[in-house]
Chain A
Amino acid sequence: MIVTQPRRAVAVALALWAALNGSAVHAADPNPDAGALALESAPVDPPAPSGGGLKLSLEAAVGRAWLRGPGSEHRSLRRGSVDIVYATRFAPQWQFVFSDRVDALHPSDGDSTVNSLRELYVGWQDPAAQWAVEVGRVNLRQGPALGFNPTDFFRDGALRVSTTVNPLLVREYRLGSVMVRAQRMWADGSLSLALSPELDDRPDSDGWSADLGATNARDRLLLSLSTRWAASTSSQLHFYAERGGRPQVGASLSSLLGDATVLYAEWAWSREPSLLQRALGQDLARQSGHRAAAGLTYSTSTKLSLTAELEYNDFALSSGHRKALATAAPALFGAYFFEAQRRQDLAARRSVMLYAKQTDAVWRNLDLTALVRTDPEDRSTMAWLELRYHFPNVDLSLQGLQYRGRAGSEFGSSPYRRSVQALATVYF
């Protein structure tokens, strides 16, 4: 007779073991994700042809600007822009880049149509991508700060047109400088040398000019060392020299703090004319000074990104001196601000910038961006606000800008009090 008790005992033991380990096999509960699993992907596009890419956008803007002063005198604003970027790898190690923008503006201080040849260069890199050389007009931008970049040594004279105060958008207008640039890259850094020759001695106001005089008015050299110290920290050191000037040094740092905060700082030292002396054409005068910018960007889980930045410029006039200049020499006061804008330099000794962007604000694809700049010395402010809605290939946006401050203050001296404009951008 076969005894069944041992098999039953083993079965009980197995059941107990399974219960202790929580591994009971049970029928699946109704799946709350069933609806999501029933969805289908969009058709997959065929692979894009290799070798090159053209990016084209068209933009139209209409608006109104109210002038400062008594009454409600205003001007209408109109602009049409074409933006082209073409980059192609025409041989295994060779690259060609062309970047251009045409703006038709009303009103305009000069030609109503302005072409900005931003980049036109040929680049080479070795198969291991450790060496790279570029020759031509290259937009060499430096610095992690958002609103003011003391280590961006090729920034002066690089704007033919500026139709926005948003520092991120201003960068899209910027001209490169003609140069030869070589860079050696390794896992945790790079070393680059840029040599930019003098090609013309003054800017050209002709709207269709390549305007080499704006970016290549003197021989220049920039040596930069980039180092990645850790996964979350990197720095750059710069040595800059130009014919007829004294060498300048600069440094920048960016670092991650926790999961949601990026810290950054830039600093540059030089011995050069002050901004006022440059406005007066007194380029031989020299004073030592520092420029600096430091800030942080904090991002929330609700798609809000906040940036706060402090900016400093030893070569700018103090609030008191600006006010005196505004009273004693209004024309020179205007030239001072024009020179600051031309050089993309800070017109005030100190400035505070706050930048906020809410993605998917209230509705999906609707972004809200706000920018506030304030001069803590004269307490003038500039505030800019944009609502932008993204369709698949079209953006519609509404922008508002306001300047506040007393006469002689940094933002109180703008010819406009406020402006509004609507924009439509089509991407191809």
Chain B
Amino acid sequence: MIQTTPPALSRRACLLALAASAAFPSFGATDAQAMLAASDAIRNPSRPFSVTVTLTEYQGGAQVDTSTLQSYSRTLSAGGQFVSLIRFVKPARDAGKVMLKAGADLWFYDPGTKASIRISPQQRLLGQAANGDVVTVNFAKDYTATLAGTEEIQDGERKLRRSSRLKLESSTDDATYAQVELWLDADNHRPLKARFFAESGRLLKTAYYRRYAAQLGVERPTETVIIDGLNPQSVTLLRMSDYAARDLPTAWFNKDHLPRFQPE
């Protein structure tokens, strides 16, 4: 004889399950931060590295400019935020100029004028180097993540992917953006898409991470598509190439060293 479950007990079990899901909303927050850290590790190597960033700018679908940067990045402490030296390579008028980014400490060096000038985050945001540093930033260091749900989105290769959507709120003064929405592949935490917001809630840029390839031992996105939030017709493609592990002394990230910065 097949034994059956009494109806009253099964209804109680359902209610208990519902109550449990409501009683532990914070479980998602801890998990979200770990997911964010995992996605950071996919985007950025854990050791000092350099990468060539080729930027292609489009306006209304037509290519209007290209430029090349070399980014040298490391963390100053284990698990800390990246500090970066961004050296302009092309166009020729900007070749040799260097930007130092260490949190809110931002300096621009022009070898032509021998001037190291402090720049504001606003000035940095307006230049292509700002798009370049969307690449080398550890979100987990400057943002608090919460899991906002799972959904299917179109990734950078226009394929549907099941993703986890994280909401990031800035948690330090060094955070460039007030809020970030980040979609991670639900299976492997690969970053798929991000939207970056100002404090006013204004959308500043949308980024898609794509062309995953093995770089320094991990499958990383080698291309990022950045769509201007104010002018969606303005699109910049960042192609990352020539990833290399580097010996980058911390003294290089001192603004007084900028006139001597000449990577091998």
Does B256 sit within 8 A of A, measured CB to CB?
A: yes
Residue of B92, B118, B227 near A36 (CB, 8 A) is B227
Does B91 sit within 8 A of A, measured CB to CB?
A: yes
Chain A residues bordering chain B, tally (CB within 8 A): 100
B205 to chain A, nearest CB (A): 11
On whether the beta carbons of B235 and A36 are closer than 8 Å, the reply is yes
Does A427 sit within 8 A of B, measured CB to CB?
A: yes
Residue of A32, A171, A189, A300 near B232 (CB, 8 A) is A32
A380 to chain B, nearest CB (A): 27
List CB contacts (< 8 Å) of A36-50 with chain B: 36-42, 44-45, 47-48, 50
Compute how far the CA of A51 lies from the CA of B264 in the bound complex, rounded to whole angstroms: 6
Q: Given known contacts A25-B152, A128-B249, is B118 in contact with A256 (CB within 8 Å)?
A: yes
On whether the beta carbons of A89 and B115 are closer than 8 Å, the reply is no
List CB contacts (< 8 Å) of B4-23 with chain A: 4-5, 7, 10-11, 13-14, 17-18, 21-22
Does B37 sit within 8 A of A, measured CB to CB?
A: no
Compute how far the CA of A376 lies from the CA of B126 in the bound complex, rounded to whole angstroms: 34
List CB contacts (< 8 Å) of B206-254 with chain A: 206, 208, 210, 223, 225, 227, 232, 235, 237-239, 241-242, 249-252, 254
Chain A residues with CB under 8 Å of B52's CB are 44, 47
Compute how far the CA of A22 lies from the CA of B249 in the bound complex, rounded to whole angstroms: 47
On whether the beta carbons of B95 and A39 are closer than 8 Å, the reply is no
Does A242 sit within 8 A of B, measured CB to CB?
A: no
**Closest chain B residue, CB of each to CB of A390:** B93
Chain B residues with CB under 8 Å of A128's CB are 249, 251
Residue of A34, A44, A187, A359 near B158 (CB, 8 A) is A34
On whether the beta carbons of A6 and B10 are closer than 8 Å, the reply is yes
Does B59 sit within 8 A of A, measured CB to CB?
A: yes
Does A261 sit within 8 A of B, measured CB to CB?
A: yes
Instruction: Encode contact with A along B29-67: 1 for CB under 8 Å, 0 otherwise.
Output: 000000000000000000000001010101101011110
Instruction: Encode contact with B along A301-334: 1 for CB under 8 Å, 0 otherwise.
Output: 1010100000000000000000000000000000
**Closest chain A residue, CB of each to CB of B93:** A427
List CB contacts (< 8 Å) of A248-288 with chain B: 254-256, 258-262, 264
Chain A residues with CB under 8 Å of B96's CB are 53, 55, 85, 87
The total number of A-B Cβ pairs within 8 Å is: 239
Compute how far the CA of A360 lies from the CA of B9 in the bound complex, rounded to whole angstroms: 70
Residue of A48, A89, A301, A392 near B122 (CB, 8 A) is A301
Does A406 sit within 8 A of B, measured CB to CB?
A: no
Binds B, one of A12-20, A194-202, A347-355: A12-20
Secondary structure at the B interface, as helix, strand, loop or mixed, is mixed
On whether the beta carbons of B115 and A31 are closer than 8 Å, the reply is no
Compute how far the CA of A141 lies from the CA of B113 in the bound complex, rounded to whole angstroms: 9
On whether the beta carbons of B120 and A37 are closer than 8 Å, the reply is no
Compute how far the CA of A40 lies from the CA of B105 in the bound complex, rounded to whole angstroms: 34
Compute how far the CA of A13 lies from the CA of B120 in the bound complex, rounded to whole angstroms: 52
Compute how far the CA of A174 lies from the CA of B111 in the bound complex, rounded to whole angstroms: 12
On whether the beta carbons of A260 and B58 are closer than 8 Å, the reply is no
Does A71 sit within 8 A of B, measured CB to CB?
A: no
B254 to chain A, nearest CB (A): 5
On whether the beta carbons of A20 and B21 are closer than 8 Å, the reply is yes
Residue of B92, B106, B262 near A428 (CB, 8 A) is B92
Chain B residues with CB under 8 Å of A234's CB are 105, 118, 255
Residue of B95, B118, B256 near A53 (CB, 8 A) is B95
On whether the beta carbons of B149 and A127 are closer than 8 Å, the reply is no
Instruction: Encode contact with B along A62-100: 1 for CB under 8 Å, 0 otherwise.
Output: 000000000000000000000101011100100100000
On whether the beta carbons of B120 and A261 are closer than 8 Å, the reply is yes
On whether the beta carbons of B256 and A25 are closer than 8 Å, the reply is no
Chain A residues with CB under 8 Å of B257's CB are 129, 132, 185
Does A183 sit within 8 A of B, measured CB to CB?
A: yes
Chain A residues with CB under 8 Å of B4's CB are 1, 3
A164 to chain B, nearest CB (A): 12
On whether the beta carbons of A39 and B118 are closer than 8 Å, the reply is no
Compute how far the CA of A169 lies from the CA of B103 in the bound complex, rounded to whole angstroms: 29
List CB contacts (< 8 Å) of B122-180 with chain A: 122-123, 125-126, 148-154, 156-158, 160, 162, 173-174
Chain A residues with CB under 8 Å of B22's CB are 20
Compute how far the CA of A26 lies from the CA of B22 in the bound complex, rounded to whole angstroms: 23
Compute how far the CA of A232 lies from the CA of B21 in the bound complex, rounded to whole angstroms: 44
By a beta-carbon cutoff of 8 Å, the part of chain B in contact with chain A is 2, 4-5, 7, 10-11, 13-14, 17-18, 21-22, 52, 54, 56, 58-59, 61, 63-66, 68, 76, 89-93, 95-96, 102-106, 111-115, 117-123, 125-126, 148-154, 156-158, 160, 162, 173-174, 206, 208, 210, 223, 225, 227, 232, 235, 237-239, 241-242, 249-252, 254-257, 260, 262-264
A–B Cβ pairs within 8 angstroms, 10 of them: A13-B17, A23-B149, A25-B151, A28-B160, A44-B241, A185-B256, A190-B254, A226-B256, A228-B255, A231-B102
14 more contacts with CB within 8 A, not counting A39-B225, A231-B104, A428-B92, are A25-B150, A32-B232, A45-B90, A55-B92, A55-B111, A57-B92, A89-B264, A128-B251, A130-B249, A185-B256, A262-B119, A299-B126, A395-B93, A425-B93
By a beta-carbon cutoff of 8 Å, the part of chain A in contact with chain B is 1-3, 5-6, 9-10, 12-13, 16-17, 20-23, 25-28, 31-42, 44-45, 47-48, 50-51, 53, 55, 57, 83, 85, 87-89, 92, 95, 123, 125, 127-130, 132, 139, 141, 144, 168-169, 171-172, 174, 183, 185-190, 192, 226, 228, 231-232, 234, 254-256, 258-262, 264, 297, 299-301, 303, 305, 359, 364-365, 390, 392-393, 395, 425, 427-428
Report the 4 A-B pairs with minimum CB-CB distance, sorted nearest first.
Answer: A171-B113, A427-B92, A129-B251, A260-B122
